């Protein structure tokens, strides 16, 4: 991807919603050295914690080239036309006004500069099949997909972002004024198969159990119910399908324990890029 994006031509990068900079630490080595970097996040915690791992990863880089600032993606505290590359990763999906953030990223991008956004279609995760799917009725599969569709639409209605925004990114890039728009799919999959002994598989299994044990994520009953109802679901519908999903989770855990569960774990993560047009020369 670094070659496709010609990252080697850029010597400055801004990561918006940087968190601990896992994403930008992957990109930074491909920039033209000495490269300037600014990480922006609205959470003071990440602004305070991100410099440590970034500087440990690149001890040879002058501290003067690295900066971390607090700011909102829809009001980025950086100057116009100041970076060769601007990026964000799984940030727009959480915003009520993602186009505002894209316009801000466009503003701080230099003419000819590169914008890269990585965002998913998380609704697809509820359609991926596994080794137990054949035992489900068509009606149950459709009912459970409707449940998650209403949940996603409820989050959008509540202003909590669109977790399938990846599908919309190319159009948003065009609306923002970017050119040379290119769309790629991440080639990694969250696969599970016995004996489930790779670090990635162990992390997936532990995350699912942690969500269930702490009633978080997809198992936060109150939060999920609010969104399903907000998007037109009924209380009876919620109770019926939530019980089905709990039962489905238990069947999957039993199959994992027995060493019989598997899934390719296909996910959809888009890597969308574009460039800010160069100014048109006036030959009048």
Q: Is the model's pLDDT at 267 over the cut of 90?
A: no
Domain boundaries 2-121+164-187+269-275, CATH class: alpha beta
pLDDT band at 103 (very low <50, low <70, confident <90, very high): very high
Q: Is the model's pLDDT at 280 over the cut of 90?
A: no
Q: What average pLDDT does range 243-256 have in this prediction?
A: 97
pLDDT recorded at residue 188: 85
Q: What is the pLDDT of residues 175-205, one digit of tens each?
A: 999 999 999 999 888 899 999 999 999 999 9
Q: Is the model's pLDDT at 224 over the cut of 80?
A: yes
Coil/strand/helix, residue 17: coil
Q: What is the pLDDT of residues 127-152, one digit of tens each?
A: 889 999 999 999 999 999 999 999 99
pLDDT recorded at residue 53: 96
Q: What average pLDDT does range 36-62 have in this prediction?
A: 97
Mean pLDDT of the chain: 96
**Predicted model pTM:** 0.93
Q: Is the model's pLDDT at 284 over the cut of 80?
A: no
Listed in order, strand segments (DSSP E) in 90-217 are 109-120, 179-185
Which residues in 48-84 are b (16+ Cβ under 10 Å) and which e? ebbbeebeeebeebeeeebebeebbbbebebeeebbb
Q: How many residues does the chain have?
A: 284
Give the start-to-end residue ranges of the domains of the chain: 2-121+164-187+269-275, 123-158+192-258
Residues forming beta bridges with residue 75, ordered by sequence position: 72
């Amino acid at each position: 991807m670094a070659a496709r994006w010609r990252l080697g031509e850029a010597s400055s990068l801004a990561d918006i919603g940087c968190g601990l900079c896992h994403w930008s630490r992957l990109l930074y080595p491909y920039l033209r050295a000495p490269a300037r970097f600014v990480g922006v996040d609205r959470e003071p915690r990440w602004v305070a914690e991100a410099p440590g791992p970034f500087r440990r990863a690149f001890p040879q880089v002058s501290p003067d080239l690295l900066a971390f600032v607090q700011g909102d993606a829809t009001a980025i505290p950086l100057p116009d036309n100041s970076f060769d590359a601007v990026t964000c990763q799984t940030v727009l999906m959480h915003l009520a006004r993602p186009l505002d953030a894209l316009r801000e990223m466009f503003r701080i991008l230099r003419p000819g500069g590169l914008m890269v956004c990585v965002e998913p279609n998380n609704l697809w995760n509820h359609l991926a099949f596994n080794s137990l799917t054949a035992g489900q009725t068509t009606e149950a599969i459709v009912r459970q997909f409707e449940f998650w569709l209403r949940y996603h639409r409820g989050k959008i209605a509540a202003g909590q972002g669109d977790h399938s925004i990846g599908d919309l990114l190319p159009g948003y890039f065009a609306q923002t004024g970017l050119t040379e728009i290119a769309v790629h799919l991440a080639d990694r999959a969250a696969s599970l198969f016995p004996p489930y002994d790779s670090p990635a598989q162990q992390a997936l299994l532990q995350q699912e159990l942690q969500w269930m044990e702490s009633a978080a994520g997809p198992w936060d009953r109150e939060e999920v119910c609010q969104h399903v109802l907000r998007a037109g679901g009924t209380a009876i519908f919620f109770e019926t399908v939530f019980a089905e999903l709990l039962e489905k989770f238990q069947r999957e855990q039993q199959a994992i324990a027995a060493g019989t569960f598997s899934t390719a774990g296909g996910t959809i993560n888009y890597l969308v890029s574009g460039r800010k047009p160069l100014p048109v020369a006036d030959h009048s």
